[in-house]
Amino acid sequence: MEESITQVIGKNIVVRDWLLRTQKAKWDSLK
C-alpha cells in the first residue's frame, strides 16, 4: 500500500509540474 501511494503521489507531482510547464509555455507564446 505504501509503495503504491507514494507512486501515485509522485505521478501527481510530475503531472502537476508538466501542466504548469505547458501553461507557462502557452502564456509565453500568447505574450
pLDDT computed for residue 1 by the predictor: 67
DSSP states of 8-29:
HHHHHHHHHHHHHHHHHHHHHH
pLDDT in tens, 1-31: 678 999 999 999 999 999 999 999 999 998 7
pLDDT computed for residue 2 by the predictor: 78
Its pTM stands at 0.59
Q: Which three cell numbers stand for residue 25?
A: 509555455
pLDDT computed for residue 26 by the predictor: 92
Q: Look-up: residue for cell 503504491?
A: 4
Q: Which amino acid is at 9?
A: I
Give the integer Cα–Cα distance in Å for 17 and 5: 18
